[in-house]
Each structure stands twice: as structure tokens, then as C-alpha cells.
Chain A
Amino acid sequence: MFRMLFIATIAFSALAQDAAPARFLIERIEVRNAHRVSPELVISETLLREGGEYSEEELSAASARLSRLPFLVSADFALEKGSDRGRHVLVINVAETKPFFFLVDARPILHEDDGPSRFEYADDDLGSQSKDAALGFRWFAGRRGIVHVGVISRNARHAFMSDYSALAVGYTQYDLFGTRAFATVNIRLPFGRSPKGTVSPEVVAGIPLTTNQTLTLEYEDTHFRNDTQRILDTDIPRRDAERVLSFTWTYNSTNDPFAPTRGTIVRISPLRAMRDRSSFRFSGPIPGAVPVPYANHINGNGIDLLASRYWELSERNALSAGVLAGWANVSDESTATRGIDDVHWRPAYQVLRAGYSRNLWDGDSKNGDSRLELDVRVVARQLNFEHRIGYGQDEQNALQGAVSWVRRSAWGMLRLGAGYAWGY
């Protein structure tokens, strides 16, 4: 009788154990197929610790986090027996990206509204982790560092901030002081629209709160021009600089850094931008006028909100919807010449987006992705930048449609397409 009871107890216990979500004691984490990236860096980015006990849900979240890293194409998890019963070795098989990387989003949108038709490039920061275009090389330095050299391009949504391209060289240190925090130092040299750009530093520091949440603090000090121009025997200092401080909270459960098909991304980012500009204007009609120096100082405060959700309807098809909105408070602190009227906390822009994407890739998904994307947006822009120092508060609303092809591979992300925007 007791024996039967004992057997029944054991059987019940085994069944109960099977019904409960399994947890795994990870005594060691091993990274395989890592040729360039350091195993320590991969381990630190999982946010898992050797000696910890984890459920499959936690391991799945760690795997998804690794797959969002820009230098890994995929990361597969497997368990092996550890040194003793109940202990496991977590094996992470990674597929790395190439040292050369690119992030190109080339989607000209033809705008038809009251003014002349014009092309603008889509700035897709609704789903992507970064709104910057980039091209360059990446080397892994030490056990937790990455050096990168390249060209970046920033497309700012706020009217009081500048769009620019820059050459950049930088270093990122992961797992700072064993805290899982990271810091990047970039030295940039603006070019293109800012041919007189000088060395401009940027510092980014962040800390992951969970596998899906990250806090980031960023400071950019960008010098578009800093020289002296001699006009009619007068030395005129010409400066154009912008400092931006932003603090960002991000929740990201998507499955891809550039073309996600599942998950949610929410980003809230308060920021402060300070713009200084000194130049000259002529005091009267030419000839006879003399150059008179002036200086502008504009302070802009903004809050950006992004929320985007992706649904995978099937192996091939995915839907997405999102909202992007910003609020701004801008004041002109110039003493002599006020270029703009102050703007007290008001909506700066709103974008509503719906998207459909279809997988065109029949190969192994671990080797990348190829998708056709259809995108419809309602764009409302309340604040517009005029002549680099002034603001217009006239509204510009548009309905925008675009079709594009996106390819992610070990080399990077390429998005090519075209669109049309109807102003109303």
C-alpha cells in the first residue's frame, strides 16, 4: 500500500515537473563560430549570467536581443550537459556580419502640394533602431570593444535641428565595469552641406534595464563651420554649431534591427538642442554697405515619441502600424536680431503609418532577409525650418505612399524604393 502510494507520489511529482515551465541552471556560456566578435561581448549582450537559472522565455528573449545587434545576423541557442546533473552549458552559435557594413535607405518621395514639386528622402525611423544612414568598417578591439570608421547621415525630424552627413571614427565599449552598460565616443567631421565643418565629438552611453528595455544618454557637439572670413578689410567670425543632449527610453521586442516582422518598439526621447550661429549682413544697399556681424542663439526643447507594432500574419506576410510624434519648445535667445518667434510647447509633427511587407527570401532566414514593403503614411508637420535660422508655423499635411525593397545580409541593410506624397 505504502509502496503504491510512494510510486504514485513520484509519478505525480514527475508529471507536475513536466507541466511547470522548465528552468535551466546555466553554469557556463560558450559562444561558437565567432571569428571577429569577441565571445565576452556576445555573452554580455545576452544579459544572462553564468550560474543563473533561466526559463526558456528568458533564453528566447536573450536570443532575440542578440538578433537585434547590428553585428550579428543570427544567434542560435542550444544546451549541453554541464559538469553535474541539472547543470547546463549554454551554447550560442552566431553568424556574424562582415567587417564592412552599410545601412542605406534610398527612397525618394515625390511631394506634390501648393508649391513646386520636390523630392525628399524618406526617413524611416519608425521601425529601425537608427535613423542614420551609415557606411563603413567595424573592427572588434579587445574583449568588449568595437572600433568603427565610416560615413553617417542624420535626418532630424525636429525643425530646430540640422540634417547633415559626417565622416566618423568611434569606439564602443560594451559591458562597462561589468554593469552591461555601454559607451560610444565618436569623432565626426561634417561635410557636404557643411564644407567647413570641424572636429565634432559625440558621446553615447546606455544601459539595458531588461532584455527589451534600454536607457540611452547622448550628447553631440557638432561644428558645421568655425572660421574667420575677411570682407572689406573686416574680419568676420563665422560659426555654426549645434549641441544636442538627449535621453531615450526604448522598449524593443522586435525580431530584427532593420526590417522587423514581429514585436513592438516604443521610444520616448526628450532632448535639448542649442544652436549658435554667427555671420554678417550688410548694413545697407550695395555698394557702400559695410558688413555687420551678428549672432543667433536658438534653444530648442523637444520630446519625440515612437510606437510601432509588427504582426507576422504568416511565414511570408507581415503587417505593421505605428505612430511618430514630436512636441517642441523653441526660443530665440539672440540679442540683436531675433530670427524667429518663440514657440511654446506645441506639436511639431505627427506621423501615422500602416505597412505591409512580404518575404521574398526562400533561402535560410539565418542568412538574411529580403522583403517587399508597402507603406502608407499620414504626415502632419506643424513647424518648418526656413532659411536655417527662422521658423514657419504653417502646417504641411500630406498623404504619403511608398513601395520599397529591403535586403538584409551579412553586409548590412539596403532599402530601395520610391514614393509619392499628396499635400493637403
Chain B
Amino acid sequence: MGVLIRVVAIALLMLPAFAGAQPRPSFIAQPGRVVAAALPSSLLAERDVHRQLGSGLTTTFILVARQRDTDRRGAARIEIRFDLWDEVWLVRKIEFDGKEERQRIASRELLDTWWRAPVRLFAAAADRVALSVTLTVLPFSVAEGEDARQWMSKSGGVAVPDGGSPLIAALIGTALSAKPIRSYRWSADVAFR
């Protein structure tokens, strides 16, 4: 009986740890009322994500932020592929306004550092914003069908962070048919001072 009580007590103590096991990013208020997300390295270590990163094929991360009670939204896309022969990480990041960054990263440690850098994903219209943020992890690259830069050139380089933006459609990759590997959902309240 005593053993049972101890097991139950330990389980209850461990419960918050399990409940909080899902990785959570930090949401950062940046100048120009821009919301950025700093993603934790632990997300790359999640079993399914880690396995896909080691596949030699692209792993695509799609971040979508929706402002609660409105249809405003922003999105960002990150692609990571490990080149098996050069043994470098080929990474690509496209932020909510179409700003693109490509890099070749030499080690996993440097990849973690690059990954933790804030990703700009939403432009707020007020000094305080409540967001629902989803992160979807997908196998394969979604860039080939509808490239964000093509959309940018078609829309004259103007990125509108609202629900109807073709840039957002491109970032999310609407033509994709692959099943998501993992998905995460967070809430965030961000205040600009």
C-alpha cells in the first residue's frame, strides 16, 4: 500500500513536467510592432523531427500566427536539409514580409544557434496583440511548386500580412500533399512599448 502511495505521489509530482513537455517558443516584440518567435532547440530534438532531419531530405517548418478575433495572420517558413556528401546543413528562412535568408551551416551546434534566432512572423496593428500560433513540420520541400519569391515579384515586392496575401499562401505551401510529421499550437500575448 505504501509503495502504491509513493508511486502515485511521484506520478502526481511528475505530471506538470509531462504536461509542460511540449517545446514552447519565446515570442518577442520587435520594433515596428513586429512579432518574432524564438524557437527552442528541443524542438529539433523531438523524435519524429530529429528522424526527418537525418533523412537527407528537406524538413519544412511552417509557422502561422493568427490574431485572435480577427482574420489577420502572418506566416514564416523554415527549410532545413542535411547534405549527406558535403555534411553541411542547408537552411532557408522566409519571414512574413518575404525577407529570405539562405545559409550553409557546418555543424549541428551552429544549426541550433541559427535555429534559436528569432523568426519574424506577424505585423501587429495595435500596441497589444493576442495570437494563436501553429507550427507544422512537414517532410519534403514545399518551395518548388509555389516559390515565395515568385509571389513577391508578382506582387511587386509588397507583402501584406493579412489573410488574403498570396505571399502567405506561398509560405504555407498550399500545393503540398505530404502528411505533417508533427504540429504544435501555442498562444501568445505580445505587448509593444
Classify chain B: how many residues form its interface, as a range: 20 to 34
B149 closest partner in A (C-beta): A19
Instruction: Indicate whether A56 sits within 8 Å of B176 (C-beta atoms), given known contacts A21-B143, A63-B140, A80-B84.
Output: no
Interface string of A255-277 (1 = CB under 8 A from B): 10000001100000000000000
> Which of chain B's residues have a CB closer than 8 A to the CB of A253?
177
Is A56 touching B140 in the complex (CB atoms < 8 A)?
yes
Which of B48, B81, B104, B140 touches A60 (beta carbons < 8 Å)?
A: B140
Chain A residues positioned under 8 Å from B144 (CB to CB): 21, 55-57
Once the chains bind, are A262 and B57 in contact (CB under 8 Å)?
A: no
Q: Is A86 an interface residue (CB 8 A)?
A: yes
Chain A residues engaging chain B, CB cutoff 8 angstroms = 14-15, 18-19, 21-22, 55-57, 59-61, 63-64, 67, 74, 76-81, 85-86, 88, 253-255, 262-263, 314-315, 364-366
Across the interface, do B177 and A64 meet the contact criterion of CB distance under 8 Å? yes
**Known interface pairs A18-B102, A18-B104; A85-B56 also in contact (CB < 8 Å):** no
At the interface, yes or no: B54 with Cβ under 8 Å from chain A? yes
Residues of B at the A interface (CB closer than 8 Å) are 48, 54-58, 81, 84-85, 90, 102, 104, 134, 136, 139-141, 143-145, 176-180, 183, 185
A14 to B176: give the CA distance in the assembly, Å: 27
A361 → chain B, closest Cβ, in Å? 12
Complex interface: chain A residues within 8 A of B136 (CB): 315
Q: Which residues of A contact B141 (CB under 8 A)?
A: 21-22, 56-57, 60
Contact B183 A56 (CB under 8 A): no
Bound complex: CA A263 to CA B176 (Å): 8
B183 near A254 with CB under 8 A, answer: no
A-B contact pairs, 21 of them (CB 8 A): A18-B104, A19-B102, A22-B81, A56-B57, A56-B141, A57-B145, A59-B57, A59-B140, A63-B139, A63-B140, A64-B177, A78-B56, A79-B55, A79-B56, A79-B84, A81-B85, A255-B179, A262-B177, A315-B134, A315-B180, A366-B179
Question: Nearest 5 A-B pairs (CB), nearest first?
Answer: A79-B56, A78-B55, A60-B140, A315-B183, A57-B144
Q: Are A314 and B134 in contact (CB under 8 A)?
A: yes
With A78-B55, A315-B136 given, can you name 14 additional A-B contacts, CB distance below 8 Å? A14-B104, A15-B102, A60-B139, A60-B178, A63-B140, A79-B57, A79-B84, A81-B84, A88-B84, A255-B178, A255-B179, A262-B177, A263-B177, A365-B179
* Residues in B whose Cβ lies below 8 Å from that of A21: 141, 143-144
Main secondary structure on B side of the interface with A: loop
Name the residue on B nearest A86 (C-beta): B85
With a CB–CB cut-off of 8 A, which chain B residues contact A314? 134
A77 to B85, CA, bound (A): 18
Which of B81, B176, B179 has the most A CB atoms < 10 Å from its CB? B179
Q: Whole-angstrom distance between the alpha carbons of A79 and B53 in the complex?
A: 11
B64's nearest neighbour on chain A, judged by CB, is A314
User: How distant is the Cα of A78 from the Cα of B58 in the complex, in angstroms?
Assistant: 10
State whether A78 touches B81 (Cβ < 8 A). Answer: no
Q: Which residue of B lies closest to A87 (CB)?
A: B85
Chain A residues closer than 8 Å to B48, beta-carbon distance: 364
Complex Cα spacing A15 to B136, Å: 27
Residues of B within 8 A of A365 (CB): 179-180
Contacting pair A77 B58 (CB below 8 A) = no
Q: Determine which residue in B102, B143, B177, B178 has the highest number of CB atoms from chain A within 10 A of its CB, and name it.
A: B177
Contacts of B143 in A (CB 8 A): 21
- CB atoms of A18 and B176 under 8 A apart: no
**Cβ distance B53 to chain A, nearest Cβ, rounded Å:** 10
Cβ contacts under 8 Å, A80 to chain B: 56, 84
CB of A389, distance to nearest CB on chain B (Å) = 46
- Whether A78 lies near B179 (C-beta < 8 A) is no
A175 to chain B, nearest CB (A): 24
The smallest C-beta distance from A114 to any residue of chain B, in angstroms, reads: 44
**A15 partner residues in chain B, CB cutoff 8 A:** 102
With both beta carbons as reference points, the residue of chain B lying nearest to A262 in the complex is identified as: B177
Q: Of A56, A59, A254, A366, which one neighbours B177 at CB under 8 angstroms?
A: A254
The one of B55, B176, B183, B185 that contacts A77, using a Cβ cutoff of 8 Å? B55
